[in-house]
Amino acid sequence: MGRRETAEEFRERRKKKRGEDNRRVMRMTTLILQLGISMMTCIFLCGIPGYFLAGHTGHPVIFPLFLLLGVLSGFRSCYQVIERFNGRLITGRKPEGQEGQPDMAPGRQPDTKPDRKPDSQKGAQVPEAGGEDEDELDEDPWI
C-alpha cells in the first residue's frame, strides 16, 4: 500500500494544479482577444478606405468589395494565429530568446526522439559543382 500524502502535500498539489489551470485560462483568453483584434483590424483597414473611395468615385460597389477583402484577410489572419498557437502548444516550442522548460499542454511529454543525421551522413548524393540542383528550381522564393 502506498504512503498517504499529508495535508501539506495535498495543499501544495492543489495549489500547483490551480496555477496550471489559471495559466490555461489566461492563454485561452489572450487567444480569443487576439483573434477578435486581428479580425476587426483587418475589417477596418479595408472597410474605411473602401468607404472613402466609394464616396469619392461614386461607385457603391467598391465598399462591399473592400469589406469582403477585409473579412477574408481577417479570416486568414485568425487562421495563422490559431496555427501558431496550436504549433506552440503541441510541439512545446517557446518563442525565440526564451530559455527554460518547454511550455506544453498538460499531459504532453517532451519529444525524446534522437536528432536526425545530416544528409551527408545518410549517403545522400551531392550535386556536382556548376550543375543546377533540381530542388532549387522547384522552390518558389516568395513562399
- Classified as helix, coil or strand, 10 is helix
State the residue for C-alpha cell 526522439: 113
Which pLDDT value is given to residue 49?
Answer: 94
- Residue-wise pLDDT for 50-71, tens only, equals 999 999 999 989 999 999 999 9
Distance (Å, whole) CA 54 – CA 40? 20
pLDDT in tens, 78-130: 999 999 888 865 655 555 555 555 555 555 555 555 555 555 555 555 555 55
Q: How far apart are CA 50 and CA 71, in angstroms?
A: 13
Q: What is the amino acid identity at position 136?
A: E
Q: What is the pLDDT of residue 121?
A: 54
Task: Tell me the three state secondary structure of residue 36.
Answer: helix
Full-model pTM:
0.51
Contact 49, 66 (CB under 8 A): yes
pLDDT digit string, tens, across residues 17-55: 888 888 888 989 999 999 999 999 999 999 999 999 999
